[in-house]
Amino acid sequence: MESLSWSLEGKVATVLIQRPPANALASGLINEIDSLLDELEENADVRVILLKGEGRFFSAGADIKEFTTIESGEEFSKLARRGQDVFERMENFSKPIIAAIHGAALGGGLELAMGCHIRLVSENAKLGLPELQLGLVPGFAGSQRLPKLVGRAKAAEMLLTSDPISGSEAVEWGLANKAYPEDQLFDKAKEMADKIAKKSPGAMKAAIELLSYSKDDRFYEGVMREADIFGDVFVSADAKEGISAFMEKREPHFKG
């Protein structure tokens, strides 16, 4: 794999995202995550998965450069559905997945983190869904998972302002479980992973299955509609302006 590596310590598989400089979430990385889940699911030595990013960030967003190579709204919707499927698989995965978030989890990076069962953050991390700043909307189920975690009003604030929140705020809002000083984050995450790994694998699998019943049919309807809208918005003039502005490091000028 080009962008992922993993190592086993005890019963915990630590998975490292390695896609410098920002661990951007490209389609290839999404496919690698899916393949790695295949591998870890069959490995009886692995009871818990700990996901973290190498370098300065957990994952600072989707790969905007890849967006410029996509030519149609239908292709964009297909990309969205692929990410949705993999992150849904993560949320229902038979082994607990813990995200240890430092630096930033933005856009697709936050959607990846929201697909994990538990999120631990550094106090100064930045978490957000800034897609509207590019004239886009979230595409990997972020518009559906975020309000389930923080409530509709706070989700609206995060989406419509594009402003990130800190790791400490993420705990207050319900987006993350615990916040730590950055130099303690990974040790604390490993400590929790080790604690969980002592539980019965069968009981953990059953508990995760039971948690999935908290999502109703409207969630899945919303996810499907998100993918459609992701493609529709992508072909708009405002989206082209937003992506161009991002690449050119300037303020976008949306005309509606």
Catalytic machinery residues: 111, 131
Distance CA 198, CA 17 (A): 25
Residue for token digits 């730590």? 180
